[in-house]
Structure formats: structure tokens, C-alpha cells
Amino acid sequence: MSVTLDVQVPSQYPADKVFKVISDFDNLAPKVIPQFIKSIETVQGNGDVATIKNVTFGDAVPYKSAKYKVDAVDPNNYSYDYSVIEGDSLIGILDSIYHHVKIVPSSNGGSVYTQTVIYNCKGTEKPSKEFLKKEKEVYENNYKAIEAYAAAHPEVY
């Protein structure tokens, strides 16, 4: 059994710029949202498919760590897929959490940040509606914080 969460955040910035920022998430997140992510460390690979990374969460998160694997990287289509495969962020009831991040160009020259999160459950127990609502808010707010940081540093992005 699985549960799907869809996140969409409109952006005034074009898809290529947003994808560039999202591609630097490992470096940006600990600087911009340390209350949620203290660090992201590559333990195997070079960032491409099959790379394994460890995430240490900040104090605003009810769990401490996660290990994830990069499933797909497609800069031409502005997409990045990864799966959380270990850690207490699996909340004891999940086998894995699959993330599909895609930046969709808009007709107005901006884009839409989309993130589909699939929680793959071990059994019949699934994440609560309250849990999913909080998760969605965190994903939306973290994206907005990262985007605002990038907008304030145009020389880099």
C-alpha cells in the first residue's frame, strides 16, 4: 500500500534557474533551513543515479536522519528523483519514501515547482492526514525559503 502527496508551488523564475537552485540543495539547505536540515553528506557516488546520501535533520523535525538514493537526474526535463531508504524518517511504518521533483515551465515565463511524494507502507498502517498536511507545509515552505535565498543571491544563481 502507498500514499501519495502532491506539492505545487508557482515561481516567477524560469524552470532552468529553479532547477539550478534545486540542484544545489545539498549546499543550500543547511545554510538556508538549518532548523530542518543540518547537513547532507554524499557517502557513495558523485551525485548521479545510484548516489547514496545521508541527511541529518534539524531541531524542527521530529526525526534525526535519513539515507536516500538518487533514482534519476534529468536536467533537460528539470527533474530529479530520489528515494529515502533508511532512517527514522520512515517513522516505523514505511519501507521507503519516493520523491519525484519536477520544475514545469509556465506560459508566463515562470515555472511551477512540483514534488510528488509516495510513501510506501510496510503494511496496512499509513501516515495520518495530519502528518501529511505538515509534510506538505514543510516541503512548500522549504522550497520558498530556498527560492528566496537564491533570488537574494543572483550572482550565484
- Nearest Cα to 15, choosing from 62, 60, 88, 74? 74
The residue among 79, 74, 55, 75 whose CA lies nearest residue 65 is: 55
* Per-residue pLDDT tens digits for 110-130: 999 999 999 999 999 999 999
Task: Give me the mean pLDDT over the 48-70 stretch.
Answer: 97
* Contact call for residues 65 and 84 (beta carbons, < 8 A): no
Percentage of the chain with pLDDT > 70? Answer: 100
**Contact, 150 vs 157, CB < 8 A?**
yes
Quick: pLDDT tens for 3-36: 999 999 999 999 999 999 999 999 999 999 999 9
Look up residue 37 and give its three cell numbers. Answer: 536540515
